[in-house]
Amino acid sequence: MKRKNSFIKSMLLTLISLIVGFFAIALPFNLFRTLTDESMQMIFISEIVIYFAIAMLFLVFTDKKKKEKIKCEKWHEERRAKIQRVQREWIDIAA
């Protein structure tokens, strides 16, 4: 059942990606016929800015996740060391 759901999700993702990709490529070609040169330049520049902004957001989020992971690992390591120190101290007190 899980494999079937995974396959369906993969197929839907592939289909949606193909449709979005087709329209992302077809739209500029259709605009060539209807817009003036200045309008096309403005659309091209805005498209570049939008792609750049999306890429920057992606990089910011991935960097934030990496920092959170490092912080979490550091906290776990400190916690593990503290637990070991407390256990060692209790053993020394008990002896």
pLDDT at 95: 61
H helices then E strands: how many in the chain?
2, 0
pLDDT the model gives residue 34: 83
Q: How far is CA 41 from CA 2, 23, 32, 46, in A?
A: 48, 19, 11, 9
Within this chain, do residues 61 and 95 fall inside the same structural domain, yes or no? Answer: yes
Predicted local distance difference test score (pLDDT) of residue 3: 81
Shared domain check, 41 and 27: no
Q: What is the pLDDT of residue 40?
A: 80
pLDDT for 25 beyond 90 = no
In the chain, % helix, strand, coil (3-state, to 5) comes to 95, 0, 5
What is the token pair recorded at 6? 């995974």
What is the count of structural domains for the chain? 2
Q: Which residues span the domain enclosing 55?
A: 37-95
| Residue-wise pLDDT tens digits, 29-81 | 777 778 888 888 888 899 899 999 999 999 999 999 999 999 999 999 999 99
Mean pLDDT for 2-26 is 89
pLDDT value of residue 32: 75
Q: Are residues 55 and 92 in the same domain?
A: yes
Residues 6, 47 share a domain: no
Q: Are residues 62 and 92 in the same domain?
A: yes
50 and 94 part of one domain: yes
Q: Are the C-beta atoms of residues 70 and 78 closer than 8 Å to each other?
A: no
Residues 67 and 93 in one domain: yes
Query: Are residue 24 and residue 41 in the same domain, yes or no?
Result: no
